[in-house]
Structure 1
Amino acid sequence: MTLFLYILTVAIWGTTWLAIYFQLGDVDIVVSIFYRFALATLILIPLVVIIGKARLGSRQDQFYFVAQGGCLFSLNFICFYYATQFIPSGLVSVIFCLATLYNAVNSRLFFGTRVERYVWLASLFGISGLALLMSPQIHLDDSWINTLTGVGIAALGTLFFSFGNMISVRHGKVGIKPLQSNMWAMLYGTLILLAICVISGATFRLATNAEYLWSLFYLALFGSVIGFTAYLSLVIRVGPGTAAYTTVLFPVVALSLSAFFEGYQWTSASSAGLLLILTGNYLMINKGIRIKRAVAA
């Protein structure tokens, strides 16, 4: 079951970055994200009720559901969507690899989980690879500012995502199932997005072209309902650090699609950078599995 969840997460989230690209255009970014999670919530709530997993939880649980909604279903995606305006969606997925490092550090801060030395070594590979991957996009003109802006916004979104992972670990420790927490968190995240739209004076219009509508449906059902349920199930099963290893294959899938649809150009530097990132993530996966086996033995 764990392997199935791993493959499902990679297959879905490796392609959602391109779907996000098709959401950009005439519709306000925050409004598009609101439509995504409003639709996902409308799909998820009846499903959770039908299978009998709907639970109110305690007042403290509801507080954490609100926080999870902010971190996983609103603020992080605002960052990801805006970042895609500055850099290709495939590069945003590469920066999302930082979730592995963020989760390791945050697990230490919030739960006292020891950060092994191999994590720092793997992170060095990842940061070096990211620098190489970004280098073809940085020119000696104003465009380098846009590139760094996109990188910074995407990194902030990944940090929000990591905080959401920590809240999911808390849910697992008190026996809250992913479907239950997702239902409430997604509802609260949708309300947060609605509030932001209203306060900012955004116009609620809906694009009617096929690319926008199909990508919206895909992001709502597969990217949100199925993808997040699969991923957060992994977080509870194997921990946030190991679950974040799914990001190792996201750049391969996302950059391949980005090259075809967005015109992303592979260079020797970017290829070397991707190789370093994959090497760092492989190191984390390989060492992490060995340590878990040693502890289990």
Structure 2
Amino acid sequence: MQIFLQLVASGVAVGMIYAAIAFGYQLTFATSKTLNFGQGEALMLGALFGLTLVPFTGYWLMLPLVLVFGFALGAVVERLGVRPAVKIKSEYGWIMATIALGIIFKNVAENIWGRDDLKFPSPLPEEALTFGGVRVLPMELMIVAGALLMMLAVELFNRRSIWGKAVVATSNDIDAAGLMGINTQKVITLSYSISAMTAAFAGVLVAPVTLTGATMGSVLALKAFAVAIIGGLESGLGVIVGGLILGIAETLTGFYISTGYKDVPGLILLLAVLAVRPVGLFGKAVIKKV
């Protein structure tokens, strides 16, 4: 039982990283029905940018600078990759454009920081804490708390601020929001900025417990996309539940079966959910009037 609880604890930390990235997918899909398939590169650039700043600012002062960097990066992606495709009503142009930007960002990172993985200094002690026989790294606790606080902060922003309410209105009905005087284009840009900001924040959260490099975001983003589909692309709660399910399933599979099969549960869950409930576990089916 102790081993099982240890695996669950590790899976929760991994799952919350997936959830934080998937939350970014949910933000852009809600306002524009588009996704940033370079989300993993936003995480990677946030981590590498933070690694560059840490020697000069320390970890805690680095965080707000990374948030600003991620916010600006999201605006660039929306302006260069999404807006032109949406403007000409291209159904698939934004997919290829965001993928292309992701590849460009990855190549830029390789030329600036190199192809070797780098060690990111941990702001917390690296000695594990013990709770009822379960060993947990302080950084793993910070990952869970940081991801939850980040999603809570975005939720409060949406509920309490004028811009946040504009995001909610645009998410509910973009045409009606435009008729009410809301600049929906700026709202979409804002959603991309917040999305990339959350990914960059996730990058500096996960970096101290992994190696940091130009390829670190690719697999994480792919699994986070599966989480978004499993939980529901329009449900914040869904991405949290989906992330936890996938993270725990992976750690249990890796230990009890084989590490070579630890990626299989995500694919099985994805196929099962798509077959039974295509809108996701917490998604809502929408009937379109023609």
TM over 0.5: no
TM-score by length of 2: 0.33
TM-score by length of 1: 0.32
